[in-house]
Amino acid sequence: MSPNVANPDVSGVDGWIDLVSAVFMVVGALMSLGAAIGLLRFPDLLSRMHAATKPQVLGLFLLLASIGLQMRTWWVWPVLLVAWIFQLLTVPVSAHMVGRAGYRTKHLHRELLTSDELEAVVLKAAGQKAAVQKAAAKAAQEDGSGDGSTR
């Protein structure tokens, strides 16, 4: 490490870039701390999922930007962009699966929900399933009685 890095000239462009990247690093680390506090204090799975996305998206963005600012080369930015875009693509997938499994296994406080758009879909599917089962039972009964009359 050159001495210029250890004692940066704050008046120059280098010093300003160092300052911005230092702020990015501290704020990005605070995102992780916020996620941990949210995990410890929030009451149920869905609200903990809200806290857990902070370091995964904004925290990673700030830290990757601080890498790009510190390296001071242009070719590293596309790699950092790839890392962030893949994070943006994969985080919703896992959040969707975890949220769906959490809804199905009833790990949520219903009194904290302001709207439950999935409930209508679930009730409709359950109603269709019950109707199909009733029709199948009726058909089986008729079939059985028909067999009995012909015998």
Partner 1 sequence: MMQAVLAITAVIFSLAAGGAIIRIARGPSLLDRVLAADVLLAILGGALCIDMAVNRHLNNLMLVVAISVIGFIGSVTVARFVADRREQPHEP
Cβ(87)–Cβ(60) under 8 Å? yes
CA atoms within 13 A on the CB side of 51: 17
Which two tokens mark 108? 């949520």
The pair of three-digit structure tokens given for residue 30, joined into one six-digit string: 């605070």
Q: Between 62 and 141, whose beta carbon lies closer to partner 1?
A: 62
Q: How far apart are CA 30 and CA 25, in angstroms?
A: 9
Of 14, 16, 77, 102, the residue at the interface with partner 1 (CB under 8 A) is 102
How far apart are alpha carbons 53 and 31 in whole angstroms?
A: 9
Q: CB 45 → partner 1: shortest distance, Å?
A: 6
Asked whether position 134 contacts partner 1 by CB under 8 A, the answer is no
Pick 122 or 139: Cβ nearer partner 1: 122
Q: How far is the CB of 142 from partner 1 (least distance, A)?
A: 26
- Counting DSSP H helices and E strands in the chain, the numbers are 6, 0
Residues that bind partner 1 (CB under 8 A): 1, 5-6, 8, 18-19, 21-22, 25-26, 28-33, 35-37, 39-40, 45, 48-49, 52, 55-56, 59-60, 63-64, 66-67, 69-71, 76, 79-80, 82-84, 86-87, 90-91, 93-94, 97-98, 100-102, 104-107, 110, 123, 126
